[in-house]
Amino acid sequence: MTDIDELNGYDARRYGRFRISRHLFETAFHHVELALSRCTVVKAEANFTEDCIDYLAIGAAFLPVERGMLCPEYDLVFHNLEADPRVTPRITWELE
């Protein structure tokens, strides 16, 4: 492994692509902040056609990606959003 592949024991090949809608930013920004704090965003691009932001990130929740392969797309899923707003929702990244 090279230094790029392993950063302080962390598998840096765990890439994932996902998108967050403008609506979610406007209605649940604190949840979006929480989700983004669990990964390192490498690229963010406005997608005006779909009214969202497309992300490429590195994170422990993503599966490792072999060199030369496309990284998979994930759905960002918030659980328990309708529950007590003082309770932090559970966040998962699910393969599309």
Q: Check residue 1 and give its pLDDT.
A: 43
Dist CA 22 CA 49 (whole Å)? 12
Give per-residue pLDDT as tens, 46-95: 999 999 999 999 998 899 988 888 999 999 888 776 666 666 777 888 88
In a domain, 86, yes or no: yes
Which residues 6+ apart lie within 8 Å of 90 measured at CB? 78, 79, 80
Domain residue limits at 30: 6-60+71-95
In a domain, 66, yes or no: no
In a domain, 1, yes or no: no
* Number of domains present in the structure of the chain: 1
Give per-residue pLDDT as tens, 37-54: 999 999 999 999 999 999
> What is the pTM (predicted TM-score) of this model?
0.79
Give per-residue pLDDT as tens, 9-23: 556 689 999 999 999
Quick one: 89 exposed, middle or buried, by C-beta within 10 A (0-12, 13-18, 19+)? Answer: middle
In a domain, 31, yes or no: yes
